[in-house]
Chain A
Amino acid sequence: MSPFASFLARRVLFALVLVLLVSSGSMWLVHLAPGDFATQLRGPGVSADAVQRERERLGLDRPLVEQYGQWLVGLVRLDLGTSYRFGRPVNELVGVRAKNTAVLAATALFVATVVGIPLGVIAGSSPAGALVSTIRGVSVLGMSLPPLLTSLLLALFAARTGWFPIGGMTSLRAVDPGLPATLVDIGWHLVLPALALALPVAATLERLLAQSMRETLDEPFILAALARGIPRRRVVWRHALRVAIRPVAGIYGVIVGSLLSGSFAVELVTAWPGLGKLMFDALMSRDVQLVAGCAVVGSLFLACGNLLSDLGLAAADPRLREE
């Protein structure tokens, strides 16, 4: 096995362990917490008997190890069970919501990368002056604007101007307007939430890259490249960027985590029908199967982010490939 393949295999293993641990952990956490889904049903007109019957019907009275084992067997077959609260397959519920969160988070990550990386290169390679100071100032401000507050402020902006929808993912329409119109509609709703989510990430990427770029440009191999007569622009964007991007690529996995955290807040404020709200409701109603299902998908996102980060790192850093 080549060194690169073994590196990759280790990282895939880490990703699988991550998914298993996070989903199992969340499941045990909810199981061990006081009360279960059936307890919540208790109320006026619902007898203790009825609650007990419901508990037996859902299998909540059986030993935890047995319930967990059953869920694991399902997981291997990619069947996440049935939600107690909605009485529908978790796969179906989580699938729709996960797609929405993925659209939001991926758009934000894309925008943040496309804006943050070039600005970082410019700020890191230009001589100190008004341009560099401006980019840095805007970035430090952007880093200080958490998605929770930004989305609130942007919703206020939308309410005042009416230029953008305040919340939701689609407009209510009596007739299906067809695919192109629906996509435009979703895109229109996506602008503000994605902006709120992307802003601090773009700022962080810019700062990291600018910092790393400055250090890289001081290295002897840059001087050597310039001495050989390679145009400065090419040296900066090809030679230096390849090296300077490494620390940035290295934390992409953590950035995906922070994107998910941010998207939770954004989803709640802007009523974006994503994974965050579903997970929150499931946790509050002790819907174990749904919580674990959300955790599986959420940790899959994280694992993908980490794998991407490792691949990026390996692409930029030959030492990781050769060993």
Chain B
Amino acid sequence: MLLLGKIGLGFLGTAVVAGAVVSSEGFIHVNVHEKQTNGTHISLVVPAMIVPVTLKFVPNHYLAEGGRDVRRYLPVIDAAISGLADCPDGPLVDVTDADEHATVVKSGGSIVVDVDDPDETVHVSVPLHATQSAIDEIASAGGPI
């Protein structure tokens, strides 16, 4: 009985550590709601760590062209992500017109984009750290950096 308890505790500990590792880079939230009747409603919450890890398994030739394009702008992207990570939370962009409203906000280490138009509402939240890791991964697919 004591052995079973120890095994159970071992599994629980492993699960907690694995959960902590997986969620260490935060979560990507994607929420799309089409406003028309029978419209699609997608809600996705994915551990951000999965993206760069998944990209490691994508064959290089799929990412090579994108990687070459990204590498041209890598210094700017790196500077922007690092600058955004260091600056305080707050609204960055807010655009309203007759029937659309879009915002870009930095919130708790993530960039949050919300769009509300007559057809749909979209909410995307991406942790900056995961974005950096994913972009580095894509850039490295174009050859050594």
A and B held together in a complex: no
